[in-house]
Structure 1
Amino acid sequence: MTDDQRREIEQDCARLVARYANLNDAGRWTDVAALYAPDGRMARPTAPDDWVEGREAILAAFLARPARTTRHICSNIVVDVLDEDHAKGESAMLLFTGEAAPKVGSFHDYFVRTDGGWLFAERRGSLTFQPGES
């Protein structure tokens, strides 16, 4: 793999992280779920050990949550390319909900290249600290 190919994969995966945040904040749940591989899985930052598996189940989980206004700020995105079709990444997340002080956490991702481009094979969120913690 060339340096240019590696950088292209890193950029594509970093863009996927940003699209996820923007689509999530827009409440576009079908589009959010489409960012996962059909057999992808996710664990929310508020429940990092509670996996939701499969694109359809992920969509159902998003549709089941109460409506709310959010703004996810994702930064410090680092993508490590494993091979031409797999990568892993980590990013920091700051979540504003308008209901409480912001939450700070991170996402750990595994990416897979599909015929349709790069998707999440796995996305696991965790909270570093929450409002009221010291």
Structure 2
Amino acid sequence: MEPWEAAARESIRDLVARYNSNGDSGRFEHLLELFAPDATMDVGDGRTFRGREEIATIFTGTGERWRAAARARGVPPYVRHFTATHQIDLLGEDRAKGRSYFQVLMPHGLDHWGRYLDEYALIGDRWLFAHRRVAVDGRAAPG
């Protein structure tokens, strides 16, 4: 393995971790910085969002919805995304693809789970999401 390959893989793993951490804590402005300016995000329901401004609309109001749902249940508000089995395929020194499984925990327990199907691009000295597809495989029964 060449040194650039190890650096790319570690940077991409960090990118995915920062997406989860920033989203879970409501730091959506930092989350959006993880996307290339012309990135696309497919949320799995037939809608594709193009560019950071459109991608931002996915998260508009999300934090408040989580807090309201937790208040209604009388529990502290939180959301935690966990990713596993992250596979990274380097396509060159500036492009890569990746896949990982995710689970989302909320105060009521496991909420939903699925897969992230990603394309990454090295822009300047940072790896960013060029395309992210969220494939939800299942949801917990409402309770």
TMscore range, shorter length:
0.7 to 0.9
Q: Aligned partners of 1:59 and 1:91: how far apart in 2? A: 22
Q: Identity over the aligned pairs, expressed in percent?
A: 28
2:123 is matched with 114
Amino acid at match of 1:40: A
Give yes or no for the alignment of 1:23 onto 2:22. yes
- Give the alignment's TM-score, normalised by structure 1: 0.87
1:124 is matched with 133
Q: Which runs of 5+ in 1 are unaligned?
A: none
Cα distance change on mapping 1:120 and 1:3 into 2, 3 Å? same
Q: Aligned partners of 2:22 and 2:45: how far apart in 1? A: 21
Q: Does the CA contact (< 8 Å) of 1:40 and 1:122 recur in 2?
A: yes
Q: Aligned partners of 1:61 and 1:10: how far apart in 2? A: 27
**Aligned pairs (5 A) from 1:1-134:** 3-44=2-43, 47-65=44-62, 67=64, 68=66, 69-99=78-108, 101-132=110-141
Q: Aligned partners of 2:46 and 2:99: how far apart in 1? A: 17
Amino acid at match of 2:129: F
Cα distance change on mapping 1:127 and 1:60 into 2, 3 Å? closer
CA-to-partner distance for each residue in 1:31-81, whole Å, 9 max, x for gaps? 11110000001123xx34311110111123312435213110111111110
- Alpha-carbon RMSD across the aligned residues, in angstroms, is 1.6
* Structure ID, larger Rg: 2
Report runs of 4+ in structure 1 exceeding 6 Å deviation.
none
- Give the alignment's TM-score, normalised by structure 2: 0.82
Q: Does the CA contact (< 8 Å) of 1:48 and 1:125 recur in 2?
A: no
Q: Which has more helix, going by share of residues?
A: 2
Cα distance change on mapping 1:15 and 1:66 into 2, 3 Å? closer
Amino acid at match of 2:102: M
- Number of corresponding residues: 129
